Amino acid sequence: MRCPGPLANGRGRGLARVTALTLVQGGAAGAAAFATRGLFEALRDPDPLPATLLAVLATSGAVIAAARVAARVSGERLGQSYARDIRMALFEHAAGMPASDVAARRSGYMSLRFVGDMTAFRNWLGLGLPRLIAGAVLIPLALIVLGLLEPAFAVWTVLLVGLALATITAGGLRLRPLHRRLRARRARIAAEMSERMPLAPHLDRLGRRRTERRQLDKRIDRMVAAAVARLRLSEALKAVPDALAGLAAVAILVAGERAGASPGSIAGGLAALGLVLSPMRDLASVWNLHSAWRQAARKAEVALDRSQRGTYTETRRLPSGPAEIEIVDMPLPSGRTMSLHLAPGAVVELPARDGDGDFALRALAGLEDVPAGRIRLSGVCITRLSRGALRRGVALVGATPPILQGSLRRALTMGVTDRLADDRLEALAREAGLGPTLDRLGGLDGTVREGARNLSGAEGAAISLVRARQLTPRLVLLEDSTGSLDVQMQERIASWLSATGATVLRQAGAMRVPRAAP
């Protein structure tokens, strides 16, 4: 999957709107400079100041303010739109990755993509590009205004502005490696913190508290040093226009005096000088925003380059009745291969353990990338089944089903297309042994916490059973966690399996099902 472009999805038109608003600001500022010159010239006359010029000067400020706010709001919309597309692309790509590949990522991997980098994406399009456009528009426009007021003004200002821009560019190029270093150190700290925080009490008991603190302190020191180095250079670049301001003002005064320019022209030149300095300060920050964006984009491109599962390539359906399973030379993580044949309605233990068994179970559920033709369900290659057919036709039953934070109702119906009415759903949940859970949480509207932390393994198994009972599975995959469930829970699962007549594949260590294999 390609990384979404900054100007995709209609954002190019939005950037054109920001450019137009920037031109409005430049035009208003130029009008203010000429009005200032005219008013200064009029001060020497006994007549009242021209009302037209006063109106232009007063109105220009309001126009500049309104255009700047509108440009900033448009830029923020652009940035948020870009960040949205990046988030969606990353989520879509992660959803299509093999489950084992996602599990192999560090715990902080996804949070860094979805949280830490989004600011860089949003700021580049919301602030960086609009500021770059503003500089490209307003700086030449200001120099033209200076030239119209007095050619000598433009000559000296061009030299100083050119020197300042060269300095900003040279420093901006040095920002990239500083951003790369800071990002790497910050990401490492985030990953290590996410790994150690849940284990903090255990690390204390094992005598690792001081050691881990010292190691963390050293990493933070290196991260702080990288952050300070980046900030020092970034702020130094922003200060270049401020250093230029005094020199440019002196140049305008001296050039105006030598050229015999009127006080009004000099005053107008100084007013136009402000039109140069503001976008130059923004240009200094553009380098900082661009460097952060490039690092975030590079990491996003790496993430989006990871392989995808080859499932759901077509929209085939499963035939009715218990599934016939045929596995032919399916590669396993251990380097071995698996071949297996299950007749419809059979109950068989998976001939693989540990990582191979977990992989085989996930592969049959469509969660792993398996070469086409290696797994067939009732004669249909698993990669050719539609997403809905695979979800409804293959049920995973275990103590740790995927559960998101939310209501118990949501947990019970996740993956179910035709949802039951609340009274029937609650009755089904109580039959599965979730009566005490309903009472404890406050019914179907009760909250299940993140990671199902307020549920036991038996309750998780009951939830997976309720989900499966709302489907018509042709194949049921029993995870090894069912082997440690209490007798009542195992009997409920076994009773349901007997009623469905579905083909059952047990992971090694899973509960036994009282139905003989043919």
Average pLDDT of span 86-115: 75
Backbone angles phi, psi at 349, to 5 degrees: -85, 135
Six-digit token string for 268: 């107008």
Q: Mean pLDDT, the chain, as a whole number? A: 88
CB-count burial class (<10 Å; 0-12, 13-18, 19+) for 424: exposed
Alpha-carbon distance of 470 to 482, in angstroms, equals 19
Indicate if the pLDDT at residue 371 is higher than 70: yes
Asked whether the beta carbons of 392 and 472 are under 8 A apart, the reply is yes
- Between the two ends of the chain, the Cα-to-Cα distance in Å is 45
Question: What's the full length of the chain, in residues?
Answer: 518
**Extended strands (E) in 316-382:** 325-331, 337-342, 347-349, 375-377, 380-381
User: Tell me: the pLDDT tens digits for 35-90?
Assistant: 888 888 888 788 888 899 899 989 998 998 999 899 889 989 999 999 899 888 88
Six-digit token string for 149: 């007021």
CB-count burial class (<10 Å; 0-12, 13-18, 19+) for 221: exposed
Six-digit token string for 307: 């392989």
Alpha-carbon distance of 377 to 318, in angstroms, equals 7
Q: Which pLDDT score, from 0 to 100, does residue 264 have?
A: 83
Asked whether the beta carbons of 480 and 457 are under 8 A apart, the reply is no
Q: Which pLDDT score, from 0 to 100, does residue 481 have?
A: 94
Alpha-carbon distance of 179 to 185, in angstroms, equals 10
User: Tell me: the pLDDT tens digits for 293-305?
Assistant: 988 888 888 888 8
Indicate if the pLDDT at residue 463 is higher than 70: yes
User: Tell me: the pLDDT tens digits for 273-292?
Assistant: 877 888 888 888 899 899 88
Average pLDDT of span 353-382: 91
394-397 and 475-478 beta bridge pairing: parallel
**Extended strands (E) in 425-478:** 447-448, 475-478
User: Tell me: the pLDDT tens digits for 399-455?
Assistant: 999 999 999 999 999 999 888 999 999 999 999 999 999 999 999 999 999 888 999
Alpha-carbon distance of 407 to 455, in angstroms, equals 12
Alpha-carbon distance of 122 to 79, in angstroms, equals 4
Asked whether the beta carbons of 126 and 78 are under 8 A apart, the reply is yes
Asked whether the beta carbons of 37 and 153 are under 8 A apart, the reply is no
Structure pTM?
A: 0.81
Asked whether the beta carbons of 145 and 25 are under 8 A apart, the reply is no
Sketch the domain layout of the chain as residue ranges.
Answer: 11-304, 325-506
CATH superfamily label, 11-304: ABC transporter type 1, transmembrane domain (1.20.1560.10)
CATH superfamily label, 325-506: P-loop containing nucleotide triphosphate hydrolases (3.40.50.300)
